[in-house]
Amino acid sequence: MSRLGRLLGRRRPRLLSLRTTFAVSFAAVTAAVTVLVGVLSYGAAARLVRVDQESVFDEVVQDLRDEVRQHEMTPDDFSSSAPGHDLVRPARTDVQVLGPDGAVLDPGRPGLPVTAADRRIAGVDPAGRMVEHKDVGVGNDVYRVATVSLGSGRGAVQVAQEFSDTEDLLRALQRRTLILMVAVVIGAGLFGWWLARRITRRLVILTSAAEDVARTRRLGIQVPVHGYDEVGRLGRAFDRMLGRLAQSEEDQRRLVQDAGHELRTPLTSLRTNISLLRRIDELPPATREELVADLGQEARELTDLVNELVDLAAGQSDTEPPQRVDLADIADEVAGLARRRTGREIVVRASGDTTTDGRPGMLQRALSNLVENAAKFDRDGSHPIEINVTGPARAGTVRVEVLDRGAGIADGDLMRVFDRFYRAADARSLPGSGLGLSIVREVALSHGGAPFAVPREGGGAVIGFTVGGV
């Protein structure tokens, strides 16, 4: 390929900006409307003027024909020096008198041409006979001429009206209309440019913000867009979207950091025990059994931790479609599964309308975590675990709570039990990762509700969440 071909191949057509497109479109529409209105207006005005001029001329000619039919008149009666001649000489009307042989007896001002047809009319017997000539050139002007016979061969009268001045007036009107249309189109283009600049200014701000985010990957950029129209709504939606993305990025970063921190302890213990496996032949049988048991326990803890991390991540980006669900039915399913797993007695109580819009998989996972948490901390198992589902607590809100008779929650831990990896001091010796209640919080928030934890009267704890729909 030649160098010119490569240069042409690299060239890309330059797209018009939205501002230019809007201004050009505005000017084009205005031009089309202006041209249409101008053409129609000029046509109507020209037609009215021409019709008016022709009607005036026709009235003058008809009056002349009526006059010569009713009265026996001679060429002298129409002489410019005869009294009453103004009856047939209105403004912008020229009169020329012909004799019986068609000769000009009293020339008009200017003089009108006489044709053979005019001379024949001058010699005819009936009065009021007429011959008409259109577009007769006299000097630099154009006339319409009508020749009316006086009768009995006495001659004829020529009446002419100038139409060139009317056409000059219409041409001047045409020029002014064109000038006005051009001025309107230019003005519309400038106004369209100004309006497009005013409208697209905030879009340019949004574009710059999006380009900054793409270039710097910083999501904490605040979009300075105001107004309550579509552009203002777009700006606020874009600002909220950036805020949600920034929060999501921060949540992911914290999740990775917390997960890394929590994984260090079991991994360090695993490495220590694995190093002891190299000397397993030197260890007594009891120590060997204890080492293998520790390895199995640590592997299970790691598995549980990874599974809960996966559940937590899935809860943050769950694409399960919302649907109408009955939380009482979900509680029954969770209770049945927990009975088989733990062998504990679990009681489900439901009251009111417990249906809501939600993601059943996420809600089941949250309620399962609450029941498993209650079973873990209520190690005595002498009292049943209770699940209460109440709805609606307030407009459209369903309340789910799990009650146990365990050791309860200290007042200082009530606000922190839903934090990731947080474990109360008396629970650190128990198995678990500290992610179960964090998953409950994520599910509740994603469903328009909130988690809660309060001490239970008589001992134990009440832990649950509300659901307000998605």
Closest CA to 122 of 138, 99, 95: 99
Q: Identify the burial level of 406 via C-beta atoms within 10 angstroms of its C-beta, where 0-12 means exposed, 13-18 middle and 19 or more buried.
A: buried
Q: Write down the pTM of the prediction.
A: 0.44
Helices then strands, each counted (H, E), the chain: 9, 12
pLDDT at residue 166 greater than cutoff 70: no
Question: pLDDT band at residue 402, thresholds of 50, 70 and 90?
Answer: very high
Give the bridge partners for 352, in sequence order: 391
Note the pLDDT tens digit of each residue in 334-361.
998 888 877 888 999 999 889 998 888 8
Question: pLDDT band at residue 332, thresholds of 50, 70 and 90?
Answer: very high
3-state SS, residue 15: coil
Cα angle: 169, vertex 171, 172; to 5 degrees: 65
Quick one: pLDDT at residue 258?
Answer: 63
User: Which residue has better confidence, 171 or 313?
Assistant: 171
Residue 167 token pair? 């056409």
Residue 90: partners with Cβ closer than 8 Å, 6 or more residues away? 56, 60
> What percent of the chain shows pLDDT beyond 70?
79
Pairing of strands 141-149, 130-138: antiparallel
Quick one: pLDDT at residue 432?
Answer: 46
Note the pLDDT tens digit of each residue in 130-160.
888 887 877 777 788 888 888 888 888 888 8
Note the pLDDT tens digit of each residue in 37-63.
878 877 777 777 767 777 877 888 888
Q: What is the mean pLDDT of the chain?
A: 77
Note the pLDDT tens digit of each residue in 222-269.
776 677 777 777 777 877 888 778 777 777 777 676 666 556 666 777
3-state SS, residue 436: helix
pLDDT at residue 167 greater than cutoff 80: no
pLDDT at residue 182 greater than cutoff 90: no
Among 338-347, 412-421, 444-453, 459-468, the minimum mean pLDDT is found in 412-421
Question: pLDDT band at residue 326, thresholds of 50, 70 and 90?
Answer: very high
Domains, the chain, ordered by start: 20-168 (3.30.450), 219-314 (1.10.287.130), 323-467 (3.30.565.10)
Quick one: pLDDT at residue 438?
Answer: 78
Question: pLDDT band at residue 165, thresholds of 50, 70 and 90?
Answer: low
Note the pLDDT tens digit of each residue in 264-283.
666 777 788 788 777 777 77
Position 233: which residue type?
A: R
**H helix or E strand, kind and range, residue 185:** helix 164-216
pLDDT at residue 295 greater than cutoff 80: no
d(CA 301, CA 296) in angstroms, rounded, equals 9
